[in-house]
Structure 1
Amino acid sequence: MSIEKQLKYFLEHYGLPSDTNHQQEDGDTLSDVNSGDGYKALRDQGKIECFTMTLQINADGAKYFKTSKYSFWPLVAIVNEASYKIR
């Protein structure tokens, strides 16, 4: 399934919070990606707006068999603006 189809499915079934600042902050405690300095700086610069969707993408390679010269690299993407429970 293409990434585009998966994101469309996610948005149709779960949507995103109307307030991208939905994560709670407690002084110097970072509670989530949205409370990090880098995310805040991009938001303050106007590069992240209420309709912006950011992703964390992770990959890890694995061989099919020990003696195989082929491997596969699954990608896992997390929508940062989704609530913690939905992620």
Structure 2
Amino acid sequence: MRDTNILHDMLRKNCPHIHARRLDSLMLATEALLDSNQLSLTERGRNMKGPVAAKHNIKRMDRLLGNTAMHNDRHAIYRFHARLI
């Protein structure tokens, strides 16, 4: 099992208030980042796996990074990771 699947399951269980679609997008962004060698928004969008065109994935990354609810959820994610240490 890939580490992102384990991370996805752990975040889903320990941070239940994070919306499921937002968590799915975050995990896709994480996988794209692991597969690419650049941190840019367009590179992450191009490296996302799925049946849609790259421009749609780039737009999905842009919406995820600009999502204010995700910025608010980051504190819960940080707390979860800090508890693991």
TM-score scaled to structure 2, two decimals? 0.29
Greater strand fraction, Structure 1 or Structure 2: 1
Larger radius of gyration between Structure 1 and Structure 2:
1
